[in-house]
Amino acid sequence: MKLPSMQEIGREFFRLCSRFPLVVINALVGTAAALVLIDHQGPSQPTVFVNILLAAGLGFPLLLGLALIAEKRKWSKPASLAVQAAGIILLILYGCSVPSFLENAPAEHLVRFFLLLFGLALFVSVAPFARSQEQNGFWHYNKTLVYRFVTAAFYAGVLQAGLSLALVALDQLFGIDITDKRYGELWALLVGVFGASFFLAGIPENLSECEKERDYPKSLKIFAQYILSTVVLVYLVILYAYMAKILLAWSWPQGWVSKLILGFSAVGLVALLLLYPIREQKETPWSRILWRWFFIVLIPLIIMLPLAVWRRISEYGLTEGRYLALALAVFLIILTLYYNLSKRKDVRVIPGLLCIMALFVCFGPWSVFTVSADSQKTRLQQLLLKNNLLVNHAVQKTATDVPAEDAVQISSILSYLYEMHGYETIQPWFAEELSKESKGRLERLKPAEVAEKMGIKYSRGASVEWGDVRLLGGDNQDRLVVKGYDFLLRGQFIGQESKELVLLENRLSCTVEAGLNAAVFTWKDNDASTDTMRLDLKGLVQRLHEEYSRIDPDRIPLEKMSVSAAKGALRVKIYLSHIRYQFKENQIMPMNGRMDILYSIGE
C-alpha cells in the first residue's frame, strides 16, 4: 500500500477546509483551548478557555450536522454558512452559561454537557436523512460514520502510544526533560486535529449515493446475529423469570430491575439497527425473528419498568438518574406502540426520537435538572416542616432532637444539592449566604456546615463504603503545609504487606508495618548510633473513622489526616491522602492507602 505524500495530505486537508470550513475551525479552536488548559501551571484558575473547550466540544457535532443537512438538501454555500453561523450563536450562548471554573461547580453543568453531546451525535446521525425516504442510505451513511469514528479512535490511540514511547526515550536516553503535561498535549493534538480530520475525510461527499450501497460486512453480521442476539436472549430469559417471580409472590418490582430492563432494551435496539439491511433475507431467519418479536416481548417489560422506577421515586423523590430512567421508559413505550401498530417500520425513528428526548430534557422548566432539584427541595421542605426546622419560610433551630432517620435524609438531600445543583433553591430559607463567588470561584458551604445551621448533626446514611470496606479521603482543595520540613516524599501507595522506604541513602529509612498499623523510622545519628521512632497509623484511622465516617468521609481536611512526631534530630509528618479499611464487629482493620511523608533530620 502506497503511503500518501505530504502534498496529498495537504490537498486532502484543504478539501476538508473547503467542505467543512467552520467545523475545521471549531476543531482547531477547541484543540487550542485544550492545549492552553493543559499547559497551565500552578493552581487551577477560572478561565474562559474552559467555556471555549466545552462549546467547541458541542460545536463539532452541531456544525457538522448542519453542514451535512445543507449538503443533502443541496443548499447554496452562503445558505449553509448562514445556518452554521446561527449554530455558532447558540454555542456562544451555551458557553456563556457554563462557569469558567468547573472544579468546584455543581455537577449539573457536566451532566448537561454530556447529554447535549449525546443528543447532538444522534443529530449528526439522523438530521441529513430526516426528510428523505432513503432508509437504506441512512443505514449505510451511519455505518460509515461509526466505522470512521472507531478507526479514527484506534489510530489516535496507536499514535499516542507510539509517540509517548518516543518522548519517554528522549527523556531517558538524551536527558531531555519531558513533563507529564506534554503527553496530554499530544493527545489533545491527535484527537482535535488528526482524529477530527480523519473522521471528516471519510464522510461520503454525495450522501444520496449511500442509497445505492448493498454491501453488508460479514463481521458485522456475525457480531449482531450471534453475539448481540445471544445477549438479548439471556437478558430476556432472566427478566421474564423475574417477572414470573413477581406475579407469583405478588410483590412490587425492585428498583434495580430497571437497570436490567434498560440494558436489555439498549442491546436489543443496537442489534435491530445492525441487522436492519438483512432483516428480510432468507439466509438470516434470526434477524427476521428479532425484528418481528422484539417489540412484542418488550410489552410486559415496559409495564414493569416505570413501576420499578416509581418505587424509588415514591421513597426518595426524583433525581437525574430516576428522571432519565422514566424518560427512557416513555421512549420505549412510544417505540413499542409505533413498531407494533404502524405498518411502516422506519428505522430512523429509534435514533431520531432518542435525539429529540436527549436535547429536550436539557433545558427549561421540564428539564431533568429543574425537575430533580425541585423534587428534592420539596422533600427537604417537608422534612424541615415535620421537625419544626422551617417556620415562615426561614430555617430555625429547634430545642428537640431530630430523629436519626430524618437527619440522615436531610443530610443526604443537602449532599445531593451541594454536588449536583448548589444551594440556590434553598438560599431564601437562610439569612446567611450559603455560597458566594470569590475571584471567579464559587465558594460554597459544605453540607455538614449547612446542616449545622439547621441545628442537626450531619449524618451520611450512605457513606463511601462497599459492604464492610470503607474509604476515607482528604479534601483535594486543601494544600500540604510543608513549613519546617526539608524533604517531601509524595504519593506512596501502601498495601497489606509491610513496605520499606529509603528516605535518605544510608541514613534514614521508614518501614510501614503490615496492615498499616504503624510507620517505624530508623536513622543514624552523627555518632553513628541507630535510633527509631514509631508513628501510630492505626490509631489515626480509628480517630478518622469515629469523626468522619458519616460526615464528608471523602472531604476530610488534610491536617486531620496527618500524624507527626519528633525525636532527637528527626522531625516527621505523615499525611494520608486516602485510606481504605475494613470495619467489622466494631474493629478497624486498615487495608491500603496513599501517603505523603514530610521529614527533616539535623546534621
Domain match, 247 and 341 both: yes
Q: Is the pTM of this model over 0.95?
A: no
Residue among 442, 348, 482 nearest 104 (CA): 442
Confidence band (pLDDT; 50, 70, 90) for 369?
very high
| The predicted structure's pLDDT at residue 219 | 84
Q: Which residue has the higher pLDDT, 219 or 437?
A: 219
Q: Kindly tell me if the per-residue pLDDT of 45 is higher than 70.
A: yes
Could you tell me if 122 and 222 lie in one domain? no
pLDDT at position 351, please? 95
**Is 306 domain-assigned?**
yes
Indicate the pLDDT class of residue 373, thresholds 50, 70 and 90: very high
Q: Are 480 and 592 in contact (CB under 8 A)?
A: no
Q: Any long-range contacts for 266-273 (C-beta under 8 Å, 24+ apart)? A: 267/228, 267/231, 267/232, 267/235, 268/232, 268/235, 268/294, 268/298, 269/335, 269/350, 270/224, 270/228, 271/224, 271/228, 271/229, 271/232, 272/347, 272/350, 273/139, 273/347, 273/350, 273/351
**pLDDT grade for 146, boundaries at 50, 70 and 90:** very high
Element (H, E) at 600: strand 587-601
- pLDDT recorded at residue 440: 61
pLDDT value at 256 more than 80: no
More confident residue, 122 or 7: 122
Whether 426 and 475 map to the same domain: the answer is no
Alpha helical stretches, state H, 179-256: 181-189, 196-201, 218-222, 229-249
Tens of pLDDT, residue by residue over 298-330, are: 999 998 888 888 888 888 889 999 999 999 999
Q: Are residues 251 and 325 in the same domain?
A: yes
Looking at 157, 187, 212, the residue that finishes a domain is 212
* 21 within domain boundaries: yes
Check residue 191 and give its pLDDT: 94
Residue 176 is assigned to a structural domain of this protein: yes
183, 258: one domain: no
pLDDT band at 42 (very low <50, low <70, confident <90, very high): low
How confident is the model at residue 467, as a pLDDT?
A: 45
One domain for residues 174 and 228: no
Tell me, what's the pLDDT at 551? Answer: 64
Find the mean pLDDT for residues 257-271. Answer: 88
Q: How far is CA 105 from the centre of its chain?
A: 14
Angle formed at CA 151 by CA 145 and CA 152, multiple of 5 degrees: 85
- pLDDT at res. 465: 40
Mean pLDDT of 97-104: 84
Residues 91 and 77 in one domain: yes
Across 145-149, 221-225, 260-264, the highest mean pLDDT is recorded for: 145-149
- 158: cell is 496507536
Helix axes 77-97, 48-72, angle to 10 degrees: 150
Residue 460: predicted pLDDT = 61
Q: What's the pLDDT band for 200 if we cut at 50, 70, 90?
A: very high
Cβ atoms within 10 Å of 273's Cβ, excluding its own: 17
Domain that holds residue 405: 385-454
Residue 19 pLDDT greater than 80, yes or no: yes
**583-596: pLDDT as tens digits:** 776 777 888 888 88
Residues 132-157 have a mean pLDDT of: 92
* 355 burial via Cβ count (<10 Å: 0-12, 13-18, 19+): buried
Q: What is the pLDDT of residues 353-362, one digit of tens each?
A: 999 999 999 9
Claim to verify: residue 87 and residue 169 sit in the same structural domain: yes
Considering the domain architecture, whether residues 345 and 235 belong to the same structural domain is answered as yes
Q: Please tell me whether residues 38 and 174 are part of one structural domain.
A: yes
pLDDT at residue 466, rounded to an integer: 42
Residue 41: inside a domain = yes
Q: How confident is the model at residue 195 (pLDDT cuts 50, 70, 90)?
A: very high
- Give the Cα separation of 100 and 52 in Å (integer): 9
- Residue ending a domain, among 360, 376, 411, is 360
Work out how many domains the chain is built from and give that number: 4
Model pLDDT for residues 481-532, shown as the tens digit of each residue: 888 898 888 877 787 778 888 888 878 899 988 778 889 999 887 667 788 8
Averaged confidence pLDDT in the chain: 86
The predicted model gives 222-232 an average pLDDT of: 84
CB of 46 within 8 A of CB of 439? yes
- pLDDT recorded at residue 170: 86
Provide the grid cell at 92. 456562544
| Beta bridge mates, 562 | 575
Q: Could you report the per-residue pLDDT of 332-365, keeping only the tens digit for each?
A: 999 999 999 988 888 999 999 999 999 999 999 9
Where do runs of H (alpha helix) occur along 431-536? 447-454
Q: What percent of the chain has pLDDT over 90?
A: 39
Does one domain contain both 439 and 475?
Answer: no
- The larger pLDDT score, comparing residue 549 to residue 517, is at 517
**pLDDT of 463 above 50:** no
pLDDT of residue 193: 92
Read off the pLDDT band of 546 (50, 70, 90): confident
518, 534 Cβ separation under 8 angstroms: yes
How many CA atoms within 13 Å lie on the side-chain side of 557? 5
Same domain, 282 and 198: no
The answer to whether position 354 is within a domain reads yes
For residue 462, what pLDDT is reported? 40
Give the pLDDT of residue 111: 95
365 assigned to some structural domain: no
SS3 of 383-446: the string is HHHHCCCEECCEECCCCCCCCHHHHHHHHHHHHHHHHHCCCCCCHHHCCCCCEEEECCEEEECC
pLDDT of residue 475: 74
